[in-house]
Amino acid sequence: MCFFPLPLVILFAEHTGDNNAAHVDHANPHTFEAEDLQKLILKATHDLEELDRKRRRDFKQYEMEKEIHYRESLQNLTAEQRVEAEKKHEEVKQKHQKHNHINHPGSKHQLEEVWEQQDHMPKQEFDPKVFFQMHDVNGDGFLDQEEVEAVLSIEVKKLYNEKDPSYDKNEMIEEYHRMREHIYKEIDANHDGLISRKEFLDYTKSPEFEKDDGWKGIEEAPVYTNEELKHYEQQRQQLADHYAKYGAYQMPYHPMDAPPYGQPVYYQVGGG
C-alpha cells in the first residue's frame, strides 16, 4: 500500500477541485499518477518555502517594531526613570541568557536527550531506526514539519519559560521554526520539504551528526542588523508623515499584545 506524506495529501485534497491546479494532469483527470505526485511534491515544497519566507519577513518586522517601541517608551521619562527602565530591561536580557546548554538541533546529543527525557528510553540504547519510527507519528515514512518541531520542545524550553511573562511567546514559536528549518537544511538532501527514513539514517551516519556546536537563541542572535533597523525606522517615519499629511489613521502598535498562542499568524504588526 502506498502512503503519501500527510501535508501532500492535504494539499492534494484542497486542489483536486481546481481546474487550474499545476500538479494535475488535465488530460487524465481521473487518476493520480507518479508524475502527478512529483508535481504535487514540488508545488507543496514551493508553497511551504513561500510561507517560511513570509514568516521570517513578518517576524523581523515584529522584532524591529518591538525595539522601536522600547526606545520610544524611554523618551517621555525623566533621567532617573530612564536609568531605572534601562536597568530593568538589561536585567531581563541577562536573565533570558542564563540557560542550560542548547544542543545543536538534529545532533546526536539533541536526539539522545529527546530519546531519554521525552521518549523515556535508556540513553545507552539509542537507536536511530527506532527513533525515526517512534517520531514518524502518522507512519508515512517521512518526518514532516510538525513531527520535526515536536522533537524540539526540550531545547526550546531551555530558552523560554512559558510561565514567566517576560518571555515573548512569539519569539518562542519562531525558535521552533528556526530550529526546524536548520534541521531540514542539514538532513533534507533532496529539498522536497520532508525528511525520509533514508535521509535521516544517512545523516546519523555522517560526521556532522556527532558534532554539537550548540545554538544561539533569538535574543543572543538578533534577526536584524543595525543598518536594517535604521532603514526600517526611516521608512516607518515616512509612512507616519504620510498619514499625518493626508489624515489617514494607523492603529497603535503594542509588542506585548501577542496573538493567541498557537494561532497560525504569529506576528501581528500594526493595524489592518
Across 67-101, b (16+ Cβ under 10 Å) vs e yields bbeeeeeeeeeeeeeeeeeeeeeeeeeeebeeeee
Other C-beta atoms lying within 10 Å of the C-beta of residue 258: 18
pLDDT at 27: 56
Half-sphere exposure of 96 (CA within 13 A, CB side): 22
With a cut of 70, list the residues of the chain below it in pLDDT.
1-34, 36-42, 45, 248-272
pLDDT at 199: 98
Instruction: Please give the C-alpha separations between residue 63 and each of 69, 137, 153, 266, in angstroms, as whole numbers.
Output: 10, 34, 22, 12
With CA atoms as reference, report the closest residue to 158 among 237, 84, 105. 105
* Cα 162 to Cα 179: distance, rounded to the nearest angstrom: 18
Backbone torsions φ then ψ of 195, nearest 5 degrees: -115, 110
193: left (phi over 0), alpha (psi -120 to 50) or beta: left
Backbone torsions φ then ψ of 259, nearest 5 degrees: -60, 160
Whole-prediction pTM: 0.76
pLDDT at 33: 67
Q: Sign of the CA dihedral 43, 45, 50, 51?
A: positive
Amino acid, res. 75:
Q
Rg over CA atoms, the chain: 23
pLDDT at 260: 40
Q: For residue 181, what is its C-alpha cell?
A: 528549518
